[in-house]
Structure 1
């Protein structure tokens, strides 16, 4: 790929060293144009049957892009959601956990996972036990653990879940939070050993807020409870009370995603995948490794991490550092409850972004 021409697709870099894709990725111009085109067409032509049919086609297109980013065998194995948390919550409920069932997670997971687990503990009576992410595979109790739910890539440090989870997944369901994985690093859901992988559309996929994806292992589909099926989840909605849900991941689609949002998300995915996902990931990793080396050379304490695109380091006053960076046109973020600030490095970043960040520090 040509990093310079790729970077030009994102208007934010005309003025900002944007290093915050771990929260929301930079929006390519094509994303905005796609949304505007659909909205303008709807305003001028109305939203009749042609609009409805085009919405269905937009969902099919977006599902295909997400399947490619996840390494899914079929687009039908991927549900369209509004965010990572929605996918995680749907799967936790779909497992039909019983009172006393143990769920194993890590103590520093994102609230998007801990929130649904806490709700399940309150309302279903499950038990939640924690273990460090690096040791979570070894902490499984075959007699008690009914679910392992954790990050694929830790949101604070960029550390990866242990490879041993693939073995765990042969006996016990593993649910992965892929918010910092999909679109950031090479993901092959079929080799991770998980029964479901939930990820975001607005982070490394650079789509609008309100988009997300959920891969569901086809082997698990019959063991999962349908969660309040709506119109889009039914094969023949006109069958009324006899209407059956899709027998694939479409049963877990969000009840409603607008055509404008899906068109925008698909346009972003097209920009990202234009030169191949491998090229995108390789370029991001090169820039990320350079940032780590320069931070360490400057004496900064970089958090232990894996081969991911997140870089966190210790500072005395995270809020002050982020405020100073913002004033200098550099976007990074503090991580509440930790001593870290975090930079998210993508293929769209260049040496100039790193220079501006280091100058602030």
Structure 2
């Protein structure tokens, strides 16, 4: 399957307005996603929110099937949540940590996750340890294996870190976790939608993702996958009348499926948009998407690296669609602003977002240009030319 760039760009209204290289922040949604969201909001305005949700019940149920199919899971293993952080939190805080329990994570771990690790460590006496990188800058699977002992309670990594281009070897990490019977929580916030994800092959116990990034769905949407045989072993950090049922004055029963990690109130239009985004990605073809944006990222890295004074800071044996760089004499923030004036969208990764990694590499900030399959070669050339002229 190949990418029909002309058709896909025509299906993306934003392509006519900007050269969008902030897909790791929030992608330009395609028309079917816009239609799903807007149609439902209009229906809510016409007949009421509860009534509109009732009319959309079958389509809302179908979202679980679409998301499950996207990552090769089962619908009952999927919870629809407000964002990737909420999904990740619901899984992580459902773990029961004790003094001396070890949490193994990576050098490139995202700040929100590390803050949660540290909070739990402070409260429970658990210990947080970062597994060293290998010579490519990715998680050293050999070191991970060596660090395993009977006190390791959780293995938790970010699949595609927010900076550095890196794609961590998730399936190899999953194999280590499975071998030792340790739960594996994978932050797939940046990978779902750009990489062909198969939770069975990866071997993760839990996976969190967002709608707004590479999946091209609405903001305020995300999902959590929990392996079926782990669902009832994890009690969510909070419950409501959706996640559980009040069955007696002094007793409640928690749902048996992954929806125990949801809450009753939800962004219904957004969920429908999330389902449309998952369907759209599968129609384009995830293998084709991954190959196309990976190739474009290589072209962008090579073009930027050829500019005098520009350094590309991407690491890892396997690299994805996130391209990070600096230019001598210009701050990352100034470059972002200058590109924005030319209608080229990028973002800035600061040291606080991945403190372990940025400190280890002596970096304070990076310009992040994240490509997607709807970016054209002309847009790549336009970005490279603009960076050279700034």
TM-score by length of 2: 0.85
Alignment match of 2:370 (pick from 344, 349, 355): 344
Q: Distance in 2 between matches of 1:152 and 1:107?
A: 12
SS at 1:335 equivalent? strand
Q: Distance in 2 between matches of 1:23 and 1:5?
A: 23
Q: Distance in 2 between matches of 1:164 and 1:69?
A: 21
Give the superposition deviation at 1:87: 1.7
The alignment yields a C-alpha RMSD, in angstroms, of 2.2
TM-score by length of 1: 0.91
Q: Which residue of 2 aligns with 1:309?
A: 321
Q: Distance in 1 between matches of 2:194 and 2:218?
A: 16
Q: Distance in 2 between matches of 1:55 and 1:256?
A: 15
Q: Which residue of 2 aligns with 1:100?
A: 100
Q: Which residue of 2 aligns with 1:220?
A: 230
Give the superposition deviation at 1:125: 2.6
Aligned length: 358
Give the superposition deviation at 1:212: 0.7
Matched, 1:206 2:207: no
> Conserved in 1, the CA contact under 8 Å of 2:76 and 2:228?
no
Give the superposition deviation at 1:136: 4.7
Q: Which residue of 2 aligns with 1:145?
A: 152
Q: Which residue of 2 aligns with 1:330?
A: 344
Q: Which residue of 1 aligns with 2:259?
A: 250
Structure 1 segments of 4 or more deviating over 6 A? 237-240
SS at 1:260 equivalent? helix
> Conserved in 2, the CA contact under 8 Å of 1:99 and 1:125?
yes
Matched, 1:320 2:334: yes
CA distance change for structure 1 residues 38 and 241 in 2, over 3 Å: closer, same or farther? farther
Q: Distance in 2 between matches of 1:164 and 1:279?
A: 23
Q: Which residue of 2 aligns with 1:281?
A: 290
Q: Distance in 2 between matches of 1:258 and 1:84?
A: 14
Q: Which residue of 2 aligns with 1:17?
A: 19
Give the superposition deviation at 1:283: 2.3
Alignment match of 1:295 (pick from 299, 304, 307): 304
Q: Distance in 2 between matches of 1:268 and 1:218?
A: 24
Give the superposition deviation at 1:220: 1.6
> Conserved in 2, the CA contact under 8 Å of 1:24 and 1:203?
yes
Where in structure 2 are the equivalents of 1:46-65 lying within 5 Å?
46-48=48-50, 50-54=51-55, 56-65=57-66
Where in structure 2 are the equivalents of 1:117-266 lying within 5 Å?
117-133=117-133, 134-137=138-141, 138-139=143-144, 140-162=147-169, 163-170=171-178, 171=180, 172-234=182-244, 242-266=251-275
SS at 1:244 equivalent? strand
CA distance change for structure 1 residues 38 and 52 in 2, over 3 Å: closer, same or farther? closer
Q: Distance in 2 between matches of 1:153 and 1:141?
A: 23
> Conserved in 2, the CA contact under 8 Å of 1:211 and 1:265?
yes
